[in-house]
Structure 1
Amino acid sequence: MTRDGTAGAAFGAAAVFLGAGVVAGAWPTGWAALLCALVCGALGATLLAARRGTASGATEEVRDAAPGLAEKDVRPDAKPARPGRSSLVAAAVVWVLALLAGGVWALTAGDDDTDDTGAAGKGPAKPSATASPSLDARPAVAWTVPPVGQVGDESVGHWGLGTAVVQGRIDGLFAYDAADGRVRWSVPAPTREALCAMTQDTEEGVGLMAYGRHDKPCATLLAVRVSDGKVLWKRSIGGDGLTDNERPLAVGGTTAVGAEDGAVRARSTEAGVQRWQRKLGKDCATLAVDADAGRTLLVEQCGKGVKLLALDTRTGAQRWARDLPVESKATAAVVSVSPVVLAVDEADARGTHAFLGFDDKGAPTVTVPLSGPDGTLSAPDGVGDGDAHRPVVHDGLLVTVAERESLVPDNVVAYSLRDGRKAWSYHAESQTMALTAEPDGARVAVLENHGNGRITLLDRTTGKPGTRIEPDTGKPVGISIYPELVPVTGGHVVLNQILMHAEPAAFALR
């Protein structure tokens, strides 16, 4: 760039900074400042080049008319010098730099100008960021979803999707973006109807939900595509609708399984077409159902006897059946489909109250009592006397929460699924509220009601605590009873399943 070109660019940059400061009352910063400087510099250089080009043309005319032009004004190739050409090159360079800066600014501005009003979904909840992700050692509460509904309202379940988490509230499904808490999409329940059931997880990008009216059966079934919330199909269930056990719906592969009035029915998740059904006998009821792509587990009680059945998920063909050690009315839950682990609790005080493990052919492998030296163990809701928590089953271990001397669960205990022995235990400093397996499979995350609420990551094989994640708000965020802890991309989301004292519906910790 020539001396005059540099001076012109510098003058333009100074002018724009002065103008911005006077007019806007604040100096431009970052990419905005650089872009302003480059644009005005380019304008200055362009004007200078135009003037020099005009002057150069006039000089050539004079030189053509004056054969005695001095040697220093002639280039070696004997062609006259064109001082305006270098200024044009300088202006072009500055314009290119300005365009590049503008492109980078446009790309980054979208991240800085996010709308906090909530968005992409149809739902009424409008999350507001209480803190941005911090760069220091203390993680932040990245976002919160304001409380929704009335005191005592209870959520139905959730789906963890990695980059989002879906909460099943009585007013419908709401998918929160893991990065900022905005509502990506929602499937509201119709007026005067409430969400009453949903699958525990999703398969092949599809989950199921059901809703019904007050004091009426839970009888309208919907399949939802979790990428965008589109309802793929809707079916009305006859009779008394879905059974009233804790988890009457499951999905495995592309098959949806529902425990309905008088039968267990399977439908395709793509179109809702029935694939198979298993009718219940007289005086029989389905206590629990769950499925994966290959196997569906049913726990059926007929009279006082209880049986565990394994069916082919796609065809309904029975693979094996096993009588359970039950002789009175019971409750049950499928803790894991593969490996097979149940939680069973019967009315007889001397009966079975335990986690039961089975191999792939239905042979019993292990029994872990729900009450013993380690205290009262937590099982899924509706089973046992302890706090309701869903245990983690991973790589040969059953990990759950235990209550010891107090009525507050403050221990995490792991048992071997090979011999039922305790593998390790972790004593928390305060109440343990929820636990979940980390995506890496090597750690278990525990939500503790400690201080502002914190997450402790335990080594899965030893139970030793490692990283602790605590909010940096300086005051409690608001954890309700029976929250759920969901790992997401870049952090964790806490879902308050029961609204007690205006706690947020959800919040994220980084």
Structure 2
Amino acid sequence: MRAGLAVVAAGAAAGLAVEFHILGWTSIPGGSCGGRYRPCPDGTTPTLILAFALTFVGWIALLLTIGKFTDRRPGKALPAVLAVAGVLLALWPGRQAYLWMRGPVLGLAWQAGPDRPSSVRAEGVWTVGAHGSTVVRVRGDALVAYDARDGDRRWTLRAPVRESVCGMSEGVADGVGLVAFARYEKPCDTVWGVDTRTGRKLWERTYPGVAGFTSGSDGLLAADGDTALALTDTGVRAYGLADGRPRWTADLRGKRAAGACAPNVVSAAGGTARVVVTCQAGEKGSGRVVTLDTATGERRGSRALPVESPVDTAMVVAAEPFTLLLEERDERGVAAVLAYPGDGDDGDPVRIPLSADDEDLVPRQTSGEGFTARPALRATVGGGTLVVATAEPGGYAADHVSAYSLRDGRRLWRAGVDGVAGLVSSGRDRVAVLGERGRLWTFDTADGDRIGEADGVMVGTNRLTERTQLLRTHDTWIVVNGQGTKEPPLYGLR
């Protein structure tokens, strides 16, 4: 009896060795891992250590126990049956042990086919439909829609010949998105209204566009209600969102005494449009945020920007409440996120400096190419809170996320991560962070508590490029790459 049980136990050890080898080696994304930027999935190292240890211990024990068993009961069939029984008995416990060592994992559910031509890059992304059932990846040469469930292409809309995407609306209203085109070093002056459900161009308009085009620019278009807004070289033009019929025009250049003034970005939400106008007179600068009624163009108010030198960066973080990333050229000037709580001219914006005593805010991705028409910001606004990637003072790697109140600018919480490759609102009062080393966390925006697994969920794939954008659909996490040359343009995780 004891000799038989010993054979079963030795068979179980040998079976675990084989099982751990299979599970350990197949868990490595792409067949290789290790190092700072391609870490091995959790549980891989202990699984392989146990696999090698059990290989020697199990097989030696199996040979010895079978030898002792056959000394007492000659024959080959019974010890073989006992050994196989041990192997089978070990499979389920071995699988459970591996899952415990590995922890929770998001696996690759699907991946889209590669970009063709390979030189194109993403200018921005929209999600469309109930629970984001369709993802529209806007490239320089085309708009391509993918099914969020399996990654299949739904439709493709090509850009005009010799023209590239130079702008796109931040979001989609009633299924209609706006995209603008320009020829090389020509004004961004052609806008389309696109039905994102079918990929059909609804209308086209040409208008006095801004600047000379070399790459995409953000904040040139906005969609709100039934109105489409396009930034011009002098102000804003409004069109019917569904039919493209002209609605109204606003000239926002202001007085000549302010110097050369031009609209910089437009944003709209909830029937209110806000336009950032910047001015430059020599080495002096000024600016203002003009509030307009989206439907009529009626001016509701104007607030001066707190700048004295030329503005280098004016980027909308959120349309509602209006939150602006502002940096002026003077190194002692404003470099902050500004939150505007209401309309009109009353009250100063809440200011959250980009550089604090113990951390620096890193809301923009600083390397790689892609997402120039609609930037993939490492910051999101929800529930009166700004959640943003942060770094140690003077550092370059964003290894924390912090939350700030948009009511008074106070920091509410701070949490460490292993880098920030993507950051997105994942529901009411929740924000998800994709780490550069392949781990996903979900935080409560109010207090920073981790929701779900305390240590984060491991992502079972190494397919991150230098610029990525994280999206959340109904039951799938979608990672969109700025470039689809070596890695897929987008892929789904479940």
TM-score (norm 2): 0.69
How many Å apart are 1:355 and its aligned residue?
A: 1.0
What is the match of residue 505 of structure 1? 489
Partner of 1:297: 274
- The alpha carbon displacement at 1:211 in A equals 1.8
1:354-503 mapped onto 2 (5 Å cutoff): 354-361=336-343, 362=345, 363-380=347-364, 389-404=377-392, 406-428=395-417, 430-438=418-426, 440-450=427-437, 453-467=438-452, 468-472=456-460, 475-476=461-462, 478-499=463-484, 502-503=486-487
Q: State the one-letter code of the partner of 1:460.
A: T
Relative distance call for 1:229 and 1:140 in structure 2 (3 A) is same
Q: Deviations over 1:425-456 (max 9, x none)?
A: 1100x221111111x31310101112xx2321
Q: Is the 8 A contact 1:265 1:278 kept in 2?
A: yes
Is 1:287 the equivalent of 2:264? yes
Alignment check: 8 A CA contact 2:316 2:323 kept: yes
1:326 partner SS: coil
Task: Provide Cα deviations, 1:297-348, integer angstroms capped at 9, x if missing partner.
Answer: 1110123111011110111111111111101110212222222221110001
Q: Is contact 1:250–1:258 with CA below 8 Å preserved after alignment?
A: yes
How far apart in 1 are the matches of 2:105 and 2:341?
44
How many equivalent residue pairs? Answer: 363
Please tell me whether the aligned partners of residues 104 and 458 of structure 2 are also in contact (alpha carbons under 8 angstroms). Answer: no
> In the alignment, which residue of structure 2 is the partner of 1:157?
124
Counterpart of 2:245 in structure 1 is 273
Task: Tell me the CA shift for residue 497 of structure 1.
Answer: 1.3
Partner SS for 2:399: strand
Structure whose CA Rg is larger: 1
Residue identity in the other structure for 2:419: Q
Matched, 1:311 2:292: yes
Q: Deviations over 1:144-181 (max 9, x none)?
A: 11331466643111112211111111121111101000
| Separation in structure 2 between the aligned mates of residue 297 and residue 485 of structure 1, nearest angstrom | 27
RMSD, matched Cα: 2.3
Deviations 1:242-282 (A, max 9, x none): 88742211111111111122231111111111111112425
Give the match for residue 17 of structure 1: none
Structure 2 segments unaligned to the other structure (5+ residues) = 1-102, 367-374
Distance in 2 between the 1:269 and 1:388 partners?
25
1:280 & 1:319 partners in 2: Cα distance? 13
Does structure 1 conserve the Cα–Cα contact (< 8 Å) formed by 2:376 and 2:469? no
Over 3 Å counting, the alpha-carbon distance change for 1:239 and 1:189 in structure 2 is closer
Task: State how far apart, in whole Å, the 2-side matches of 1:443 and 1:408 are.
Answer: 23
Unpaired stretches in structure 1, ≥5 consecutive residues:
1-135
Q: 1:495 to 1:275 in 2, by over 3 A?
A: same
- SS state of the match for residue 415, structure 1? strand
Identity value in percent:
34
The CA deviation at 1:241 is 6.9
Alignment of 1:234-245 (within 5 A): 234-238=204-208, 245=217
Alpha-carbon separation, structure 2, partners of 1:313 and 1:242: 27
Q: Quick one: distance in 2 between partners of 1:149 and 1:377? A: 36
Amino acid at match of 2:154: R
Q: State the one-letter code of the partner of 2:466.
A: I
Q: Which residue of 1 aligns with 2:329?
A: 347
Is the 2:376–2:468 contact (alpha carbons within 8 Å) kept by the matching residues of 1? no
Does residue 211 (structure 1) correspond to residue 181 (structure 2)? The answer is yes
- Contact conserved, 1:378 with 1:389, CA < 8 A, in 2? no
Matched, 1:252 2:219: no
Matching of residues 55-66 of structure 1 within 5 Å: none
Judge conservation of contact 1:254–1:293 (CA < 8 Å) in 2.
no
For 1:479 and 1:358, the matched residues in 2 are separated by: 35
